């Protein structure tokens, strides 16, 4: 092997020379994909590419491509694993449409992405050609057949000896090819090589020096290889954000940091995809703020444990996903009934039942709102960006304590694994929860001293002298005493509902993206913000009178909706959850089942709100949504 | 203020608490219910230890047993069926200063809450867990519980309970990190008091199964045991439950049992011929999870702020 090794000095000096004399074509943005078999490190490669790009001041949005199984068979379309990185001059708010450039470790995984409409004619594919000379005739045939398929579709395929080149550096490129590819991409997109080499050192910081230097060698080899063999070289200028102090992270990491910045000290969880990585992050860093991650024996115990800590004055957080929410329902209802502050993060995945664990859906809005016995009001807020994943958790803690209520923060698989830069929050100690009140309680004040105007009441915390009371999920009066009489349950329900109205009175009307009146208003919520606004912008550029609003508060609902809706000929929601298409067989106005926000808005405003929604498991793409918008504008005969 | 304790020693606290200071409303259990005796014993232990009422948290699930917080002063948490233990552990997790009592029953603990039972024992947080085991669902009127004797007639099994009852002692003793397992009967007030006191004094999760009379739905079973003390086996040891003078004369079967001997405890627990009363097992060295979960409680706001910024630095671009 040794005689084949490229000397480090040779490579790095070549890289420096080449960077200087190559001229790069400026582009506003590109969508890049890296696809491989599971376990080949494509995601690590793409995340590093994204982080380096963010550090250089570019806008970035990443989406992981996750195989359906943990150990899928190699070289199968189902096993496609990888990542998409949308990188550009401006802030990137969604995954975009078809990819511009793809690096593929084999041709079969590429077929799966082709079937998912991830590519267009002209998409550049850099494909490892090792399969063309595979000893198995079957594989050679598959390879050549796939290439024909790609040519027919119009992909611009470059067959490159990636494996062969990696073999010059390492004996088994299955570990390390990803860093070679990172080097290739770093040349193609003129990335800062020093940043990339540092990031590689970070990735392998728990491994030996030898591992770090080998991976850096692979990076350098890839860089030089691309310079010599790939006829593309681009430059993407930094965005206006480059001057600001930024942080870049995934939505789940943002949730974890939000927990820390809010002053919460306890996250109680049970492993569930795609929520768990938030707790993985906290398990690494929570000690920095004196916090603890409790991995409970099940979802119910996880929320019960959090409720116990909250009841004792340490508002806690539980992080889960749809099936976990289903299990926690009874406890959430208890927190609502007994007025225990609590933060619940629901990283939504595809349903129903176990559904699509790794895929995106906005399917839990109604179950979080209504999935409980009786009337169990709670606050529901939905993060639309990764920045909001952070800020909404801190908001949730404050709301939970001020209103003595469970607060559910909805995010989803798209936000959870997506990586995006945002402005670094200026945290101060005011963000933290106040110390546990242990002053004496006035013994004349009952446990639920509801204010008749707001429904709010102070809370006695264990340790407060004279404050003792029995918290119960049974119907109770102001004194916390079990009360089955004819008035107590009504009064308690009234007071808990009144809190929601009190909170609603503090909210602002949603901002309108576009004009305040027109033909079509799109209403969205959650992670689709960037996609919907990009699609609306395309429609507006084409002369259509389309606007959009994006709701963050779903319970209570933001004010002014009926008034805003009245200024448009048609209102529709676009969501990632199930609805019947209006023109589907057997579907009529009477039996059509609406998307979840649409159903709520119809009840809330009495406006005939239409909807379009899908449950494909994929994030929405602006190109598709533009077409949906154009279709609807056409149906209502909108002006152009 | 000062007060005289039951062992004639003087207490010189600022505040002295009497039995009334630990009571809340009048219990609404049935006449003759064994729960009343358990409650009285708990109140006595509280007085003996002069626990600050405001530092006491009684946590329960659902069932007759779980009405206990309503009859205890201080703070109570009457939560969901089967879920007392996760809540109690959560309270303790970040408030190690609080004194936690858990009241649960055979249905609440051994059936709907069985997963939490096993895991709470393993967490071994410093809480006192009293299972009021009457072998029947009482509040919902006579359904089969996990400890209902086989062939006993219930409303869900009118021709007799179908399965052999579950053995809470062998299960508890089989849990790793278990630190305190005792069994007692409600109709022996001096021993019940000593048992609950030992449980409360123990650092870690003290699990006490209390065989409790239900005169309404399970009269036959308990009468038989009460009438014939030969069914019981008193466990004695200098490290065990102190046996008040004279009380031992009630037991014709007695066994010297070292509570540090786990295999012997398992043998006693598995022997169906006699109902052991006393301390089966104690391990003062077992790991307490609350010592792990309460990490960082002394951190200042400035340290926390520095921590948040250090965390953000890692994501800085």
A473 touches chain B (CB under 8 A): yes
Per the CB < 8 A criterion, the answer to whether A478 and A446 are in contact is yes
Joined tokens for residue A4: 């084949």
* CB atoms closer than 10 angstroms to residue A238: 14
What's the pLDDT band for B1 if we cut at 50, 70, 90? very low
Q: Which of A49-58, A64-73, A446-455 has the lowest mean pLDDT?
A: A64-73
**Quick check: B127 pLDDT over 70?**
yes
Please name the fold of domain B3-313: Rossmann fold (3.40.50)
Q: What is the mean pLDDT of chain B?
A: 95
B264-276 pLDDT tens trace: 999 999 999 999 9
> Nearest 10 degrees: CA dihedral of B232, B238, B244, B248?
40
Dist. CA A233–CA A226, nearest whole Å? 9
pLDDT in tens, A585-603: 999 999 999 999 999 999 9
Does B292 contact A247 at a Cβ distance shorter than 8 Å? no
DSSP string, A190-211: T--HHHHHHHHHHHTTTS-HHH
Tokens of A156: 């611009």
Residue B144 tokens read as 């089969």
Per-residue confidence at B222, pLDDT binned at 50, 70, 90? confident
Q: Smallest Cα–Cα separation from A219: which of A189, A184, A170, A171? A: A184
Residue A72 pLDDT:
84
DSSP conformation letters of A36-75: ESTTS-HHHHHHHHHHHHHHTT-EEEEEEE--SSSSPPTT
pLDDT over 90 at B94, yes or no? yes
Residue A146 predicted with pLDDT over 90:
yes
Structure tokens at B8: 């004639």
Q: How far off is chain B from A186, nearest CA to CA, in Å?
A: 17
Lowest pLDDT segment from A10-24, A103-117, B218-232, B247-261: A10-24
Q: Does A298 touch chain B (CB under 8 A)?
A: yes
* Per-residue burial over A183-217, b = 16 or more CB atoms within 10 Å of its CB, e = otherwise: bbbbbbbbbebebbbebbeebbeeeeeebbebbbb
Tokens 């050192």: give the residue.
Answer: A201
Which residues numbered 523-582 in A keep a CB inside 8 Å of some CB on B? none
Query: How does pLDDT run across A346-355, given as a tens digit for each residue?
Result: 999 999 999 9
pLDDT tens digits for range B57-83: 999 999 999 999 999 999 999 999 999
Going by C-beta distance under 8 Å and a sequence separation of 6 or more, which residues neighbour residue A154? A120, A121, A122
What are the boundaries of each domain within chain B?
A: 3-313
Q: Which residues of A touch B304 (CB under 8 A)?
A: 263, 289-290, 429, 432
Beta-carbon contacts of residue B118 (< 8 Å; ≥ 6 apart) = A297, B171, B175
Helices A209-229 and A193-203 cross at an angle (nearest 10°) of 140
CA distance B220 to B214: 9
Q: Is residue B39's pLDDT more than 50? A: yes
Query: From the list B83, B293, B305, which residue is nearest A294 (CB)?
Result: B293
Instruction: Tell whether the model's pLDDT for residue A9 goes beyond 60.
Output: no
Which of these, B106, B103, B108, B125, lies nearest to B58 by C-alpha position?
Answer: B103
| CA dist., res. B237 & res. B250, Å (int) | 17
- For A188-241, how does the pLDDT look when each residue is reduced to its tens digit (9 = 90+)? 999 999 999 999 998 898 899 999 999 999 999 999 999 999 999 999 999 877
The answer to whether B75 and B106 have CB atoms below 8 angstroms apart is no
Chain A CA closest to residue B310: A288
Strands (DSSP E) contained in A510-613 are 518-525, 546-551, 553-555, 568-575, 610-613
What ipTM score was computed for the predicted complex, to two decimals?
Answer: 0.96
Which of B283, B274, B272, B270 shows the shortest CA–CA distance to B255? Answer: B274
Q: Per residue in A549-565, is it b (16+ CB within 10 Å) or e — as a string?
A: bbbbbbbbbbbebeebb
Mean pLDDT of chain A: 94
Q: Rounded distance, CA B301 to CA B305, Å?
A: 6
Residue A4 is predicted with a pLDDT of 40
| pLDDT tens for each residue of A502-527 | 999 999 999 999 999 999 999 999 99
Q: Strands of A73-188 (E only): list them.
A: 81-88, 101-104, 124-128, 156-160
- Whether B117 has a pLDDT exceeding 60, the answer reads yes
CA distances B221 to A625, B75, B156, B216, Å, are 70, 35, 18, 11
Check residue B4 and give its pLDDT.
Answer: 66
Q: Which domains does chain A have, with CATH numbers?
A: 2-241 (3.40.920.10), 247-431 (3.40.50.970), 437-506 (no CATH), 518-635 (3.40.50.920)
Residues 604-623 of A with CB under 8 A from B: none
pLDDT on residue A22: 64
Task: Search chain B and give the residue with CA nearest A259.
Answer: B308
Partnered with residue B275 across adjacent β-strands are B232
Q: Chain B neighbours among A 220-249 (CB < 8 Å)?
A: 245-249
Measured CA to CA, the distance from residue A514 to residue A547 in angstroms comes to: 5
Asked whether the beta carbons of A376 and A336 are under 8 A apart, the reply is yes
pLDDT cut 90: percent of chain A above it: 90
Residue A11: band (very low, low, confident or very high) from pLDDT cuts 50, 70, 90: low
The whole-angstrom separation of Cα A86 and Cα A34 is 12
* DSSP symbol at B71: G
B76, B86, B315 ranked by CB distance to A305: nearest: B86
Structural tokens at position A612: 């379009």
């Amino acid at each position: 092997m040794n005689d084949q090794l490229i000397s480090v000095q040779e490579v790095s000096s070549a890289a420096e020379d080449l960077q200087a004399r190559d001229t790069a074509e400026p582009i506003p943005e590109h969508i890049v994909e890296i696809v491989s078999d599971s376990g080949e490190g494509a995601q690590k490669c793409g995340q590093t590419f994204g982080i380096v790009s963010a550090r250089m001041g570019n806008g970035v949005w990443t989406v992981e491509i996750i195989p359906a199984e943990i150990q899928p068979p190699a070289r199968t379309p189902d096993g496609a694993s990888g990542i998409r990185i949308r990188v550009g001059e401006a802030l990137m708010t969604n995954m975009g449409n078809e990819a511009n450039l793809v690096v593929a470790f084999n041709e079969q995984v590429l077929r799966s992405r082709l079937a998912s409409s991830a590519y267009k004619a002209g998409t550049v594919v850099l494909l490892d050609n090792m399969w063309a000379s595979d000893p198995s005739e079957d594989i050679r045939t598959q390879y050549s057949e796939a290439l024909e398929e790609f040519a027919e579709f119009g992909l611009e395929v470059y067959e490159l000896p990636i494996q062969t080149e990696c073999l010059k550096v390492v004996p088994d490129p299955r570990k390390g090819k990803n860093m070679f590819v990172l080097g290739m991409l770093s040349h193609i997109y003129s990335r800062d090589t020093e940043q990339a080499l540092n990031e590689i050192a970070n990735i392998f910081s728990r491994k030996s020096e030898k591992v770090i230097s080998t991976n850096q060698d692979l990076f350098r080899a890839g860089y030089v290889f691309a310079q010599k063999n790939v006829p593309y070289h681009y430059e993407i200028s930094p965005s206006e954000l480059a001057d600001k102090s930024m942080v870049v992270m995934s939505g789940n990491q943002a949730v974890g940091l939000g927990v820390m910045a809010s002053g919460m000290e306890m996250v109680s969880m049970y492993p569930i995809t795609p929520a768990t990585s938030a707790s993985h992050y906290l398990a690494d860093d929570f000690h920095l703020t004196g916090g603890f991650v409790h991995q409970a024996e099940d979802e119910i115990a996880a929320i019960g444990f959090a409720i116990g800590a909250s009841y004792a004055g340490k508002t806690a957080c539980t992080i889960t996903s749809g099936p976990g929410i289903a299990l926690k329902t009874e406890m959430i209802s208890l927190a609502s009934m007994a007025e225990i502050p609590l933060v619940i993060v629901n990283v939504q995945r595809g349903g129903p039942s176990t559904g699509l664990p790794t895929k995106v859906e906005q399917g839990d809005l109604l179950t979080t709102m209504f999935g409980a016995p009786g009337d169990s009001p709670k606050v529901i807020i939905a993060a639309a960006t990764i920045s909001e994943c952070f800020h909404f958790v801190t908001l949730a803690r404050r709301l939970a304590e001020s209103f003595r209520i469970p607060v559910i923060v909805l995010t989803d698989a798209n936000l959870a694994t997506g990586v995006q830069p945002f402005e670094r929050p200026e945290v101060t100690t005011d963000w933290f929860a106040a110390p546990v009140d242990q002053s004496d309680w006035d013994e004349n004040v009952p446990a639920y001293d509801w204010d008749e105007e707001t429904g709010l009441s102070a809370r006695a915390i264990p340790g407060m002298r004279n404050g003792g009371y029995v918290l119960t999920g049974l119907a109770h009066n102001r004194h916390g005493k079990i009360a089955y009489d004819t008035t107590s349950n009504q009064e308690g329900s009234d007071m808990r509902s009144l809190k929601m109205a009190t909170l609603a009175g503090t909210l602002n009307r949603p901002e309108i993206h576009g004009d305040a009146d027109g033909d079509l208003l799109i209403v969205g919520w959650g992670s689709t913000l960037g996609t919907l606004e990009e699609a609306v912008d395309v429609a507006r550029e084409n002369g259509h009178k389309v606007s959009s609003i994006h709701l963050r508060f779903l319970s209570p609902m933001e004010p002014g909706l009926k008034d805003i809706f009245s200024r448009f000929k048609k209102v529709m929601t676009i969501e990632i959850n199930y609805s019947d298409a209006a023109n589907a067989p057997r579907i009529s106005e009477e039996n059509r089942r609406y998307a979840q926000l649409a159903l709520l808005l119809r009840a809330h405003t009495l406006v005939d709100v239409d909807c379009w929604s899908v449950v494909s498991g994929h994030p929405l793409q602006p190109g598709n949504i533009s077409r949906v918008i154009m279709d609807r504008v056409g149906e209502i005969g909108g002006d152009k | 203020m000062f007060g005289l304790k039951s062992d004639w020693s003087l207490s010189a606290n600022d505040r002295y608490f009497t039995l009334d200071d630990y009571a809340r409303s009048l219990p609404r259990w049935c006449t003759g219910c064994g729960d009343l005796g358990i409650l009285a014993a708990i109140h006595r232990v509280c007085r003996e230890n002069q626990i600050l009422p405001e530092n006491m948290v009684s946590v329960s699930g659902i069932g007759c047993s779980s009405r206990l917080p309503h009859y205890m002063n201080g703070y109570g948490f009457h939560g969901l069926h089967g879920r007392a233990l996760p809540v109690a552990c959560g309270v303790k997790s970040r408030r190690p200063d609080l004194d936690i009592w858990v009241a649960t029953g055979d249905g609440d603990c051994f059936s709907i809450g069985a997963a939490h039972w096993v895991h709470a024992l393993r967490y071994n947080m410093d809480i006192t867990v009293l299972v009021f085991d009457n072998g029947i669902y009482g509040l919902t009127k006579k359904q089969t519980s996990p400890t209902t004797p086989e062939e006993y007639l219930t409303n869900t099994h009118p021709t007799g309970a179908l399965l052999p009852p579950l053995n809470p002692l062998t299960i508890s003793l089989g849990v790793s990190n278990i630190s305190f397992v005792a069994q007692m009967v409600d109709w022996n007030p001096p021993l019940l008091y000593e048992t609950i006191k030992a449980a409360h004094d123990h650092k870690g999760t003290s699990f006490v199964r209390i065989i409790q009379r239900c005169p309404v739905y399970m009269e036959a079973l308990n009468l038989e045991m009460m009438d014939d003390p030969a069914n019981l086996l008193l466990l004695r040891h200098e490290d065990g439950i102190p046996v008040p003078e004279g009380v031992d004369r009630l037991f014709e079967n007695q066994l010297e049992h070292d509570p540090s001997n786990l295999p012997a405890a398992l043998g006693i627990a598995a022997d169906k011929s006699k109902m052991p009363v006393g301390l089966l097992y104690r391990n003062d060295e077992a790991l307490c999870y609350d010592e792990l979960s309460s990490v960082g409680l002394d951190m200042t706001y400035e340290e926390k702020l520095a921590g948040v910024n250090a965390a953000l630095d890692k994501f800085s671009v």
